[in-house]
Amino acid sequence: MTKAVVLLSGGLDSTTVLAKAISDGCEAFAVSFRYGQRHSRELISATEVCRHYGVMHTIIDINLSSFRSALTKEEIAVPMDREGSLDKEIPITYVPARNIIFLSIASGLCESIDADRIYIGANVVDYSGYPDCRPDFFRAFEAMLEKGTKAGVEGSPIKIVTPILHMSKADIVRLGKELGAPLHLTWSCYEGGERACGHCDSCRLRLKGFEEAGYKDEIDYE
């Protein structure tokens, strides 16, 4: 059975991607990060999702609190109810180089457990404008892995699998439902409250996706 490392935040997208990796016949190893995010509530969801599937789950501690982002610094407000299209600018919720760091660690884990691919829930359709969620970034990262890992120089480079990259949020919800993913266990909100705020970019995209897909979002909102 093919082994795959799955980056799992505990959110809608990454949970759907975990379900897709399992559906693809992979033996999945989920990895999450406690990086100083204000919305660490997502790690509870990640743990519950892994328990649902019975997959191995590793939470790695890495302190990114010195990075300038509304997700890592309490003094920077999370934008609420932003007007217009959410993909026109890179918002303050961008964590500098986050996916570069996460994918690098996941690549090392791949080599350690003899996995040959990483699944990540990046998306370029309904997203917040992050540069590390774009197709050219993943192509460049794969090229780097070919040159900078043992697997790559020996002719078996690690692949980055992005199954929802070009899907709308509604399509992601539909895929999650089709695969039987436990979307009711997931968490997407950028705020650190006990209930989702319903107003940050992530909540708004999620709510829009469920509405357009014709499903009710089962998590609690303020």
Q: Is 0.85 surpassed by the pTM of this model?
A: yes
Q: Tell me phi and psi for residue 119, to 5 degrees.
A: -95, 135
- pLDDT for 126 equals 65
C-alpha 125/C-alpha 166 separation (Å) is: 6
For residue 113, the Cα-to-chain-centroid distance in whole angstroms is 21
Vertex 53, ends 48 and 54: CA angle to 5°? 90
Q: Which residues contact 145 (CB under 8 A, 6 or more apart)?
A: 107, 151, 152, 157, 158, 160
- Quote the Cα angle for 194-179-217, to 5°: 30
Contact of 120 with 28, CB cutoff 8 Å: no
pLDDT at 128: 60
Q: Name residue 84's amino acid.
A: G
59 is written with which tokens? 């939470």
CA–CA dist 192, 71 (Å, integer):
9
pLDDT at 97: 93
State residue 181's pLDDT score. 98
List strand residue ranges (DSSP E) for 8-108, in order. 27-34, 56-61
Q: How many angstroms separate the CA atoms of 160 and 174, rounded?
A: 23
Pick the CATH number of 3-213 from 3.60.15.10, 2.60.40.10, 1.10.3720.10, 3.40.50.620: 3.40.50.620
* Average confidence (pLDDT) per 10 residues, the chain, 222 residues: 96 98 98 93 97 98 93 87 64 90 97 97 79 92 96 96 96 98 96 90 94 96 92
Distance CA 1, CA 35 (A): 31
Alpha carbon separation from 113 to 16, 87, 118, 161 (Å, rounded): 23, 36, 12, 17
How far is 177 from 180, CA to CA, in rounded Å?
Answer: 5
65: its two tokens: 């609190």
pLDDT at 88: 59
Residue 45 · residue 10 · CB < 8 Å:
yes
Per-residue DSSP letter, 78: P
pLDDT at 124: 87
> What pLDDT does 86 receive?
53
Cβ(96)–Cβ(67) below 8 Å = yes
DSSP code of 221?
A: B
Q: So where are the chain's domains?
A: 3-213
